[in-house]
Amino acid sequence: MGGADHYEVLNVERTASTAEIKSAYRKLVRQVHPDQGGNAALFRLVQDAWNTLSDPGKRAAYDRGLDRPAEAPRANPRREPDPEPEPTWTWSTDQPWSDEQSRSTDQPWSSEQDWSSEQAWSDGQPRAADDSRTTSTTGDPARPADAGLVQARPGFGRWRLPALIALVAFAVLVIGILVSASYQGFWDIAFGICTAAMIVVALPPHWGRRVPFRGLFMTLGVLTAAFYLLALVLTALPFAADNGSSVGRILIGATVVGLVVTRILTGRWSKAHSLDRAIDRTAAYEFNLWGRPGEPLVDDALAAPITPYDVLLQRRTANLLDPVITALPAAKLVHGAQLGAVAVDHMLLNGHRVALIVSLVGPPGVYSLDAYGSLVFNGQPLDSPVAALEAAVTSWRGRLRTAEVRGFLIVHPSTDGRISTRPATDTAVTCLPSQSAADDLLTWLQSEGNLLDRRLLYDVLHRAPYGLI
């Protein structure tokens, strides 16, 4: 029984009814049909899955085959009559994933799992952590994400109170000056309006945008503040003709200093307010996953097409990464993260550490990176995505300057056997075997503690995909 898991292809559970399977098939076939611009290889996979699961007899036989142990030999009726003695292998291919590839001993991937949790995903939207996962990779009970253990930076609403206090104090000061002044002509009234315009300058930007003629008032307010500052400097000079009263100089100085301080505080509050709206408390404490494996984070023309084989590979790797975000409530897993046209399969963030992850399937053996950063298998160089991953690491390091960014290549065995790797030094990419990848990534990430840097997550989700600065 060869080919990809039919339940996985249709994205239904193994216990799904015939009506549910039919509905899933009709939905998928409209998306992947070649006449509609879909992928021909994926269309064949969907058609094969429907032909098997729609027939009760074929489905029962298929289910019995799934219940057999992964290591039991299987006949493959779709295999060529004269196969090569040693099958060739490359890191990327358009051939469907065989059962032996999808059910390696290091990470069982049975149809019972069936990736039903993907149904909770929506394009580009967060998915809540699966509440059914209750143990971490170490066997200890997983700590709930809302247990107050996640420390988010910058904190929610941290600038609100000081900004409001400064804004009220500055407004009282300006209003006091306006009330105490005498208006004897047009220029006195005009100067009073310009002085009041400084309150608009002091407002937080997310409030100021609602003020009519905001641009005009901002200009008048800034010019008035500059005039006040110039008057304060001139009256303080020893040779000034009119030094003015001490009370007047104090009021002018307090007005200028108050405007600057208030504008700094309200500006900080406005930035935190933008983060609060984009990544709120719910997203920080409950949502751990963004995007879907095998799909770009942003649906645009920049993303390169992904083959059905790579889709299944990315789903398998995503399943392997689940224990990491279970053990670290603050960790965030972003699938298909983009920096402009540069895309990476998976991204793990925790604190100020960012892991870029790609994967491949290869025969059991020893994998390592040579002095030039190329992948080597049992001493022989291999074609691999290491070069593209290194370029992605360089790009993201230039983008996320406050974070430590590293690349990780996860190797899944194509047949029963063990993958081992040799550590490399002074390289941007680390090669990890699939059986220990989750533990290795957890060890590297958890040194930051349960810390969420919301600015990094906001940049990854809302600015980097569009090339915004």
Beta-carbon contacts of 127 under 8 Å, excluding residues fewer than 6 positions away, are 117, 120, 121, 287, 288, 289, 290
Instruction: Yes or no: say if 455 and 154 are a contact pair by the CB < 8 Å rule.
Output: yes
pLDDT in the model for residue 79 = 36
Please state, in angstroms and as integers, the Cα–Cα distance from residue 66 to each residue in 9, 60, 69, 367, following that order: 15, 10, 8, 31
Least confident of 107-116, 122-131, 430-439, 460-469: 107-116
**Top mean-pLDDT range of 32-36, 53-57, 169-173:** 169-173
pLDDT at residue 92 greater than cutoff 80:
no
- pLDDT interval class at 298 (50, 70, 90): confident
H-type alpha helices, 408-453: 434-445
In the chain, the percentage of residues whose pLDDT exceeds 70 is: 76
Strand order in the sheet with 365-369: 380-381, 375-377, 365-369, 419-421
Q: Amino acid identity, residue 466?
A: Y
Report angle CA 110, 56, 319 to the nearest 5 degrees.
15
Dump pLDDT digits (tens) for 169-193.
999 999 998 888 888 888 889 988 9
pTM for the model = 0.61
Question: Over the chain, what is the mean pLDDT?
Answer: 78
Beta-carbon contacts of 461 under 8 Å, excluding residues fewer than 6 positions away, are 278, 279, 290, 297, 334
- The rounded distance, in Å, linking the Cα atoms of 292 and 125 is 9
More confident call, 31 vs 435 = 435
Dump pLDDT digits (tens) for 222-252.
999 999 888 888 776 554 445 557 777 888 8
The distance in angstroms from the start CA to the end CA of the chain is 51
Dump pLDDT digits (tens) for 310-326.
888 999 999 999 899 88
Instruction: Yes or no: say if 272 and 158 are a contact pair by the CB < 8 Å rule.
Output: yes
Domains and CATH numbers, the chain: 6-114 (1.10.287.110), 129-140+292-466 (3.40.1350), 160-278 (no CATH)
pLDDT in the model for residue 38 = 62
- The rounded distance, in Å, linking the Cα atoms of 248 and 233 is 13
- pLDDT interval class at 116 (50, 70, 90): very low
Instruction: Report CA 160 to chain centroid distance, whole Å.
Output: 27
pLDDT in the model for residue 248 = 76
